[in-house]
Structure 1
């Protein structure tokens, strides 16, 4: 798509796109394009030992940065998002990944070129995998490679908070969970991805932070310009680029109405759940993540009508063992208190 006003064409027109609902909610803001990249200035290494030393220092910096990120106040609590970050941290210590980078350095490449070579090789292998869940881990690995490249280049986080507008909406092909956390959550309103799925690690972190996210929005990255006005309706999986003023007012009104409805629901939550003809109705929530259990208090629900136990198998680097599952279910029961919980068991 030509840039707005290019070749006398005038401003780009409004555009409505659809995708897949991942995290609900409505947001109105300006587009910020997520496109991490680090230029490789040298490919051939003159001193492989010096490059190996640079790699060690960069890996140490990467680990320290991830530890600092995981210690932040809104991510330190237990939950599936914490499991995601723990798994991501494990990827960063993978001996096979680091060993392949060292081998490439010893073959004569600089540290940056070695990381890029391993990244390209991994991308080729992962794209041949038929399992959708395993292919989704590619975005995590791409994120790690890009992050390591930034440390090799002498940088840290890829997204300084000062570069974000107050109402930022991230638009990306795809991204890993740590990439999302690079951005200032106080300014971040929503995320739009060309790829993505409900079980992707970035989706689970976005849900933990209550950030609307729409995935699988075809060609959105090539159709939006930086700071374009954008509306994200996570409830209907709709994205509007450069909406007309009337449409922006409509969505702004919808956001205001939603806040008012939440306030009115809060006033009703302590009333008995009874039909007009006096029949009591049990109100339970449907959950699959620990963060969903906040709805027990938000809606004053009587319990958890269904807790989907397959989700922990999807968010970890390896299947949770008996002890890990027991710990998770104990947390669910502790959080529910005296309220009943129905677990849907999973046979592996």
Structure 2
């Protein structure tokens, strides 16, 4: 049965449209189970009806007949959301005979629901003349088959194929198709899709010997230099739009093509008699395979970079003419795997949005997109990107959603969102130099989260009063080696000087989980619960001490540094880290450094730390909550996974209870507590955080003006009343809608992101 299942799945995945896939399923399942009838009924949410879409064994003229949601045995399978296996179907009280199907002779009935993400999509049915219950193995087979079919139907539903009279033409959609992905960079873009395909396909290159090795080496070197030249031109084109730190990504690519890196490995194979194209394919495939096997998401992203470089070299080896792509105004770039090089080939003034089928919010493209302020959706797995060229798209980077061929109404709605956002942001300029003070005179400091040099000016332009989280791993991630102490000192100094005299909270190196270094690979089965954050740096004091020394030296004369320890799960980790920090401080002082020991704090990101806050707070100077990871760990939800991202909700009662407990226990010890992450930058959530008593909110610079505007319009006492009412609720969506309703009643509804409402 397993081999049969695999064969059917392969045939279904190869089908060119939904109807073909359904026809394959009913024919193959009927044959595999040796039954007389196999049928598929699809459920229409709009009409609340099932429609017979494909059958083998019933009359073909019956295709198209409809059943109500609770009608007949098919309706019962859907309502119960579990299989129904009957020896004699006509004797069941819910049985409904449909004369047009010709099913009178059939007694045995087995129906299983087709469910995708808790949503009923249809029912798969087999029937037989003889009276008997289908065996357990047969039922298991059909359940497995329906699970496979669910993905096919969900994709067809997303693309609008189910609603079409013609199933093969995406261009003839009668309604907007919606695709879910992962938010890569915030904002909304409306424009025209330009599908970018890889320049060449390595997989089709055969092995072949070459007679003139020297000529082949020259040919390869010419191709290599052509790609290097392309990369330099692209980097120069982006120079005015990104800071040197982001531009360093292109230096990474150039080093990968260096004669001592990939270039050397390929040249060695050519010298052994392999032609250049075959040598290129072998080396690229090996590196891609190694990267793709790694569990770490950031390392897996490097496979995309290697693949892209390999294809570009191959294009020159094959002497292909570069396709001259025309980029219209309002270009939305779409590809299976977007790369920074692709992004750099579009004029900045024409590029309004990005969509990638593969990738996550941690990819190089997502990093650049956030730096450049381009709305982006990553991981849109069901997107038929090859068929989108020239189509109208809406990219909702706030929630990770893409709309294909939107209706006039949907387009008008999102255009209004874009226009209102521009007007609203423009109106917030006047708040830049004003303090964040509530109507009842409560002062609320608003800080920013930074990581890229680009973030500095954007943060200062929006009136940031300090840095609640500087991600020191970013300079490590865009290099091919550990930065030296002097290099780190220079980077940290620029951050501290830019914000002086305001405080800058530098998180010590936080790698592992979804962040890793190509030159320091961490391969684990479960990286989010593995060797990451403080666990790595305590195991490698030589890395930790160098970083702390660089931070301390960078702070000389400024004295606005704060050091924060990530991923703390026990008191002993804090004790060990403090020992190393004091050691590094002593070394710097002994060298003649005029520095003061900065405040030291702990990040609360894992549930274990929530229950140790009092002990942790007694050992350090401040506590800060990392809302993204804490929510993720409390709910056991990977928010970068499109399949479960909807379960990630900051207003989950468990999250709110944990946040309140941390504030309470920290204040009891007499220490301040801040919060950084997406929750702090959500104006709606900021009401609850202020009501809980957080001393500082730290957020993305883009959201700071909105949060300041809202908090200046409310009283903290009102926010506390709102908090007490929502803490009695047990549903995050109800909590969210309650807060939004309260804001609308106060005339503050414009702060609610329309695409999230």
State the 1:10 CA deviation: 7.4
Q: Secondary structure at the match of 1:95?
A: coil
CA distance in 1, matches of 2:181, 2:235: 30
CA distance in 1, matches of 2:323, 2:352: 15
CA distance in 1, matches of 2:363, 2:404: 24
On the 8 A contact 1:171/1:221 being kept in 2, the answer is: no
Distance 1:253 1:314, change over 3 A: same
Q: Secondary structure at the match of 1:57?
A: helix
State the 1:179 CA deviation: 2.5
Q: Quick check: 1:78 aligned with 2:239?
A: no
Q: Quick check: 1:11 aligned with 2:172?
A: yes
Distance 1:71 1:138, change over 3 A: same
The count of residues paired between Structure 1 and Structure 2 equals 345
Distance 1:78 1:125, change over 3 A: closer
Question: In the alignment, what sits opposite 1:66?
Answer: 231
Question: In the alignment, what sits opposite 2:351?
Answer: 188
Per mean C-alpha deviation after superposition, the further-off stretch among 258-267 and 285-294 is 285-294
Question: In the alignment, what sits opposite 2:316?
Answer: 151
CA deviation map 1:101-152 (0-9, x unaligned): 2233334443233323322233333222233222110111112112222333
Per mean C-alpha deviation after superposition, the further-off stretch among 146-155 and 197-206 is 146-155
State the 1:223 CA deviation: 7.5
Q: Quick check: 1:24 aligned with 2:186?
A: yes
For residue 195 of structure 2, the aligned residue among 33, 37, 48 is: 33
CA distance in 1, matches of 2:424, 2:170: 43
CA distance in 2, matches of 1:128, 1:309: 27
CA distance in 2, matches of 1:145, 1:337: 45
State the 1:328 CA deviation: 1.4
On the 8 A contact 1:42/1:110 being kept in 2, the answer is: no
CA distance in 2, matches of 1:76, 1:64: 19
Question: In the alignment, what sits opposite 1:88?
Answer: 253
Per mean C-alpha deviation after superposition, the further-off stretch among 287-296 and 256-265 is 287-296
- Specify which structure has the bigger relative contact order, considering alpha-carbon pairs within 8 angstroms and separated by 6 or more residues: 1
- The TM-score with structure 2 as length reference comes to 0.43
Distance 1:94 1:208, change over 3 A: farther
State the 1:216 CA deviation: 1.0
Question: In the alignment, what sits opposite 1:163?
Answer: 326
Q: Quick check: 1:334 aligned with 2:497?
A: yes
Distance 1:89 1:267, change over 3 A: same
State the 1:265 CA deviation: 0.7
CA distance in 2, matches of 1:337, 1:64: 40
Q: Quick check: 1:285 aligned with 2:448?
A: yes
Unaligned runs of 5+ in 2: 1-15, 18-160, 510-533, 538-757
Distance 1:97 1:164, change over 3 A: same
- The TM-score with structure 1 as length reference comes to 0.88
Distance 1:20 1:41, change over 3 A: closer
State the 1:316 CA deviation: 2.7
CA distance in 2, matches of 1:265, 1:49: 64
Structure 1 or 2, whichever has the larger Rg, is 2
Question: In the alignment, what sits opposite 2:396?
Answer: 233
